[in-house]
Chain A
Amino acid sequence: MRDRALLVLLVLLSCFGCYAGWNGANWVKERETAIELVRNQEQLAMVKRRQFVAQSYPSVILPSIQPVLRPGAMGVISVGQAEAYPYVAEVSPLGDYSDLFRGGWADIANPDVRAAGPFDLAFVIVFLLPLVILATSYDLWSRERESGVAALILSQPVTIAELIAAKVLARGGVVLLPSTVMLLSVSILAGARDMMGLLALAFVVLAYGCFWLAISVLINLVISRSTAAAIASGVAWLVMVVMAPSLALAAVDLAMPAPARLSFATELKAQKSAMTEVQHHYRDSHSTPERKPGSRIPDRLRDLYANRVAQDKGIAPLIAAHRRAESERRHALDWVRLWLPSVAVQDALDRIAGSDADRALAFEKQAREAQLHLRHRYKDYLDRDTVVTLAEYDAVPSFYFREATEVFADKTLADLASVLTATALILLAARTLCGRAATP
């Protein structure tokens, strides 16, 4: 009966895996389509501004660029944090930090759908794979104990540890290996092509599967009745996959609440408004002396530039403090993940997929660098008092996101190490409990 159930469970897992893979592929396609739209808008805006350059309009006309963050090569496996960070920025030479992501609207998907969480391969791996493993191994040894066969088996020249190890290997071979192959195949079919990424995915699935097999071994050594073992397995899943991470998140929220974004935005607005007023008063009472001979670029642009630079300097401490608070909270969240195997696996999958927070933050940083770079160019034209030529306008480089090249980066390895350490500790505990396994 169990073998039939195993087949049914594997088929079900495959169906959910295929649907999740299809969802992942759709998500990547939609993101790419949105990015294409942004690119077209950027091109149109460039063409419009180019007309002014062609007319040698007395101003510094540089293209406004729209940096975008494309999904990673393994993006189909996890949506991760990709919807929680901006993937489009708007870079103009005189824009400040707060303008960078203002134009790009936040996600407008149905919040009811978002609150349910994405049905991607990461969900299948983190939530459903353990259920299948537990459903097929909850009576790994308890069934023998319950039926009284355990004593008979142990009367043979074989140790309990060897016996359980053999059973786990067999169960792992029958459940975990086909599941891993299925998940890899679905990922490839959905569009994941990066060999190192696929290898990392296989490692993560196997490590996580081993963790749940170890849990199953522990339960079977402690509990002798298979019904009770089934209940304990269900509770273990509920606690480890759902409740513990959620409570850990609540604890982090309580101990280190997310920095107040509303207050930050209002404070930023207040500071900018106050500085603008001061600058207006200053310009009113200290008008820029007229140049002799007159400059080609109007001086009001120099004043504007100077105002922007001064404003940037003025708001920098506020922004730095806010970013520091955000970063500290993120570090706390990152640190907690290492104690929770399900979260560590989610994190590893996000990193493999390129939908992790660190990649989004790297994009934000590079977009800011592009903004500063464009501003330096602007200043250069002001200093030289020359207008931008068509050739120079066309030569302004586009934004290219610089990817971190390693799939097995430090944090992914830390995730894997965390899962493997937890597995080893559970197996160690199981080793000490082996004596209890002989009792019916």
Chain B
Amino acid sequence: MWRERRLLWFTLAVVLLAGASLVSNAARLALQAQERQAATEQEARLWHDQGIIDPHDAAHVGRAVHSPVRPLAAFDPGISDFVGSSVFIEGHVQNPARYRPIEGGAALSRFTGFSAAWTLQVVAPLMIILAGFATMSGELARARLRQELGAGASTTALVAGRLMALVAMAGLLMVLMIGATMPAILLQDVSEADVKAFAALSAGYVLYLFVFCALTVAVSGLFVSARTTLVVLLGFWAFATVLLPRVAPAVAETLAPTPSAVAFKSALIEDAEKDVDVHDPKDQGLKAFKAGLLANYGVSDVADLPINFRGAKYEYGEKLSTERNRRHFDQLYKVYRRQDRVQRMFALLSPTISVKPWSRAFASTGFGAHLSYLRGVEDYRFRLMQKLNVEIKHHKPQSGERHYATEIASITRDVIYRPGELSLYDVAKAQAPNLAILLVWAVLAIGLTGVSAQRLGQRW
């Protein structure tokens, strides 16, 4: 009785707290959305107000492109606090995103992470264990089981019945969580794709919680003592939901180390120094480019070219630097992917490691969504910079002027930033291995429940 009553209160308290966390997350997201909107407008104003200047100066003035606020982040913030929210775009350079919300905090900032998603990943399994560990173990449960078996019920039917009851309880918890989540999500600007993503995300949690229900019933049937059952299940819970999700990334980082920012930038600079420097007239690569261009146009001096050589060399340099930067960043993302693969191996020991990326991916708060934002920004940066360079290329400076100058706003008006978005199909495809692992867990858990039923049958 103690357990049931207090468990109910605890469940309600957790649902309320998760709801509160959801509301606070939604409020924070609304503030962020406002801030980013205002900053985007200010950035656009600054870009347009540059007036008539040398387009290459504009390339160095640059502008910032801010990341979108994802409505489902209220449910699962994922890595939102750990990635930069703005990329400063400029000529020659691909800058990483900056202004991570986690920056500038204190010791308390390390305790981030409580969210509705976290409740389903960590607390809900605990509740399932607490509600179900004594369904078939312990003196009372065993006595009741004996009576039921004596009345002619099969062990399989009894185990299946208890599993269904526990699944119904977990389902109720899911409904409560989703019920608490919906208003906070709907209050934001959600699209149809977000609703579909939320449905897919919820399906993953249904499978995940089912695994815990089946494991709880199976272990409860395998051990006679309720105390032993509880110790085994609590041990598994602590190991699978708390410990491994922390150990797996650390091991992944050990096995596939990420370079430090300093080392990464230094490698980039070193590579750039070996490449063509379009700002250095003595550079051999630039000289070769110039010779090629002159030969192409059949002239012997840049002054005789029908185009502005300065624009042509910047266009060429931008192409080279973009390819070089992309190569380095792709190398970095390759390391991330190796780390993800190492982490995924741990999912065979803990279903939490599979459901986490599943949830983040559909909430658009995983690295996939961030990467598509970064790629969208980089694509925009390249188009914008090349637009400026081509503009210089096609216009020679007026006599008496050192450089060609023009109104930046009008020449870049048609270069539009298109945010990189992943389709649900892409997300689902990328998450297929995690779904497969969750299914394996479900099958194994059902198998263990079958073994448990069989052993109960043999015992009586």
Closest chain-B Cβ to A331's Cβ sits at a distance in Å of 9
**Do residues A258 and B104 form an inter-chain contact, with CB atoms below 8 A?**
yes
State whether the Cβ of B263 lies closer than 8 Å to any Cβ in chain A: yes
**Chain A nearest CB, measured from B128 CB (Å):** 13
Bound-state Cα–Cα, A30 to B108, Å: 25
Q: Which residues of A contact B20 (CB under 8 A)?
A: 247, 250
Q: Would you call B99 and A261 a contact (CB within 8 A)?
A: yes
Contacts of A67 in B (CB 8 A): none
4 additional A-B pairs beyond A19-B247, A111-B83, beta carbons within 8 Å, are A84-B100, A243-B114, A250-B20, A250-B24
Task: Pick the contact of B108: A26, A243, A260, A336 (CB < 8 A).
Answer: A336
The answer to whether A110 and B27 touch (CB under 8 A), given A81-B107, A262-B85, is no
Question: A35 to B286, alpha carbons, bound, how many Å?
Answer: 34
Asked if A116 is an interface residue, CB under 8 A from chain B, the answer is: yes
Min CB–CB distance B458 → chain A (angstroms)? 25
Pick from B10, B257, B260, B336: contact of A34, CB under 8 Å = B260
Query: A35 — nearest CB in chain B belongs to which residue?
Result: B262
Which residue on chain B has the smallest CB distance to residue A336? B108
The answer to whether the Cβ of A393 comes within 8 Å of any Cβ in the partner chain is no
Does the CB pair A247–B17 fall under 8 Å? yes
Check A114–B35 contact: CB distance below 8 A.
no
A368 at interface, CB cutoff 8 A: no
Q: How far is the CB of A34 from chain B (nearest CB, A)?
A: 4
| Chain B hits for A395, CB < 8 A | none
Among the interface residues A81, A118, A243, which one has the most CB atoms of the partner chain B within 10 A? Answer: A243
A106 at the interface (CB under 8 A from B): yes
Selecting from B230-238, B275-283, B308-316, the interface stretch reads B230-238
Interface membership of A245, Cβ < 8 A: yes
**Chain A nearest Cβ from B89, distance in angstroms:** 13
Within 8 A of B (CB), among A28-59: 30-31, 33-35, 37-38, 41
B86 at the A interface (CB under 8 A): yes
Q: Are the CB atoms of B31 and A257 closer together than 8 Å?
A: yes
A contact residues around B135 at 8 Å (CB): none
Q: Which residue in B108, B126, B250, B266 is a CB contact (below 8 Å) of A333?
A: B108
Point out the residue from B36, B104, B264 that lies within 8 Å of A108, measured CB to CB.
Answer: B264
Most buried by B among A107, A245, A250: A250
A330 and B79 contact, Cβ closer than 8 Å, known pairs A107-B261, A116-B245? no
Say which residue of A245, A270, A357 sits within 8 Å of B111 (CB atoms): A245
CA distance A345 to B25 in the complex (A): 26
B21 at the binding interface (Cβ < 8 Å): yes
* A37→B262 contact, CB < 8 A: yes
Q: Are B25 and A250 in contact (CB under 8 A)?
A: yes
* Chain A to chain B contacts (Cβ below 8 Å), 23 pairs: A33-B260, A34-B261, A34-B262, A41-B266, A85-B104, A106-B103, A108-B259, A110-B249, A114-B79, A116-B249, A227-B226, A242-B122, A246-B111, A247-B17, A247-B20, A248-B111, A249-B112, A253-B24, A262-B99, A267-B42, A340-B108, A347-B106, A357-B104
Residue A112 at the B interface, CB < 8 A?
yes
Nearest first, the 10 A-B pairs at minimum CB distance are A246-B114, A245-B111, A347-B107, A119-B250, A116-B249, A333-B106, A34-B260, A34-B262, A113-B249, A105-B261
Task: Point out the residues of chain A lying under 8 angstroms from B103, CB to CB.
Answer: 84-85, 106
User: A108–B261 contact, CB under 8 A?
Assistant: yes
Instruction: Considering the complex, give the chain B residue whose CB is closest to the CB of A232.
Output: B6
Within 8 A of A (CB), among B230-273: 230-231, 234, 238, 242-243, 245-250, 252-254, 257-266
Query: Please, how many angstroms separate the alpha-carbon atoms of A33 and B266 in the complex?
Result: 12
Instruction: Provide the bound-state CA to CA distance between A347 and B111, in Å.
Output: 11
Q: Given A254-B28, A262-B99, A263-B39, do A106 and B84 touch, yes or no (CB 8 Å)? A: yes
Please determine whether B28 and A257 come into contact, CB atoms closer than 8 angstroms: yes
Contact present for B27 and A270 (CB under 8 Å)? no
Within B19-48, the residues touching A (CB, 8 Å) are 20-21, 24-25, 27-28, 31, 35-36, 38-39, 42-43, 45-46
- Tell me whether B66 is interfacial, beta carbon within 8 Å: yes
In the complex, what distance in Å separates the CA atom of A31 from the CA atom of B262? 10
Confirm or deny: A104 has a beta carbon within 8 angstroms of a beta carbon on chain B.
Answer: yes
A112 near B250 (CB under 8 angstroms)? no
Q: Across the interface, do A234 and B234 meet the contact criterion of CB distance under 8 Å?
A: yes
Return the chain A residue nearest B253 by Cβ. Answer: A113
Among candidates A106, A248, A266, residue contacting B96 with C-beta atoms closer than 8 Å: A106
Please indicate the chain A residues that have their CB under 8 angstroms from the CB of B169 in the complex: none
In whole angstroms, what is the CA distance A114 to B370 when docked?
14
Query: A356 to B110, alpha carbons, bound, how many Å?
Result: 11
A206 to chain B, nearest CB (A): 19
Contact A330 B114 (CB under 8 A): no
Interface of A with B (CB < 8 Å)?
Answer: 19, 23, 26, 30-31, 33-35, 37-38, 41, 80-81, 84-85, 88, 104-119, 123, 127-128, 131, 225-228, 230-231, 234-235, 238, 242-243, 245-254, 257-258, 260-263, 265-267, 269-270, 273, 326, 330, 333-334, 336-337, 340, 342-343, 346-347, 350, 356-357
CA distance A34 to B267 in the complex (A): 12
Asked if A270 contacts B42 (CB within 8 A), the reply is yes
- Chain B contact surface mostly: helix
Cα distance A230–B45 in the bound complex, in angstroms: 61
> A110–B2 contact, CB under 8 A?
no
A30 to B113, CA, bound (A): 27
Residues of chain A with a CB closer than 8 A to B85's CB:
262
Which residue of chain A lies nearest to B84 when distances are taken between CB atoms in the complex? A106
Q: Mark B residues whose CB is within 8 Å of A.
A: 2-3, 10, 17, 20-21, 24-25, 27-28, 31, 35-36, 38-39, 42-43, 45-46, 49, 61, 64, 66, 78-79, 81-86, 95-114, 122-123, 126, 130, 226-227, 230-231, 234, 238, 242-243, 245-250, 252-254, 257-266, 332, 335-336, 339-340, 343, 357, 366-367, 370
- With a cutoff of 8 Å between Cβ atoms, the chain A residues found around residue B17 in the complex are 243, 247
| Chain B residues whose C-beta falls within 8 Å of the C-beta of A35 in the assembled complex | 262
Q: Which residues of B contact A23 (CB under 8 A)?
A: 250, 254
Return chain B residues, CB-CB under 8 Å to A228.
2-3
A342: chain B residues at CB < 8 Å are: 111
Q: Give complex CA distance A346, B46 in Å.
A: 43
Given A88-B262, A226-B227, A266-B42, A235 contacting B106 (CB threshold 8 A): no
Check if A260 sits within 8 Å of B78, measured CB to CB.
no
User: Which chain B residues lie closer than 8 Å to A38 at the CB level?
Assistant: 262
Q: Who on chain A is nearest to B77 by CB?
A: A115
In the bound assembly, the distance between CA atoms of A406 and B83 in angstroms comes to 35
User: Are B98 and A106 in contact, with the CB atoms below 8 A?
Assistant: yes
**B114 — which chain A residues lie within 8 A by C-beta?**
242-243, 246-247, 249-250
C-alpha gap A26/B61 in the complex (Å)? 39
Q: Are A131 and B238 in contact (CB under 8 A)?
A: yes
State whether A110 and B253 are in contact (beta carbons under 8 Å apart), knowing that A117-B246, A250-B25 are contacts in the complex.
Answer: yes
How many angstroms from the CA of A346 to the CA of B110 in the assembled complex? 9
A343, B108: Cβ atoms under 8 Å? yes
A227-B260 in contact (CB<8A): no
Is B227 in contact with A80, judged by CB distance below 8 angstroms?
A: no
Given contacts A41-B266, A113-B339, contact A263 B46 (CB under 8 A): no
In angstroms, Cα B38 to Cα A108, docked, is 27
Question: Does A262 contact B107, Cβ atoms closer than 8 Å?
Answer: no
Q: Find the residue from B39, B42, B106, B370 having the highest chain A CB count within 10 A.
A: B106
Chain A residues with CB below 8 A from B339, complex form: 110, 112-113
Give chain A nearest CB distance to B130 CB in angstroms.
6
Q: Is the CB–CB distance between B261 and A242 below 8 Å?
A: no
A95 CB → nearest B CB, Å = 16
What's the Cα separation between A228 and B6 when bound, in Å?
Answer: 10
Inter-subunit contact A115/B81 (CB<8 Å): yes
Q: Nearest Cβ in chain A — how far from B233, in angstroms?
A: 11
A262 to B107, CA, bound (A): 23
The residue of chain B having its C-beta at the shortest distance from the C-beta of A20 within the complex is: B250
B258 and A115 contacting across the interface, CB-CB below 8 Å:
no
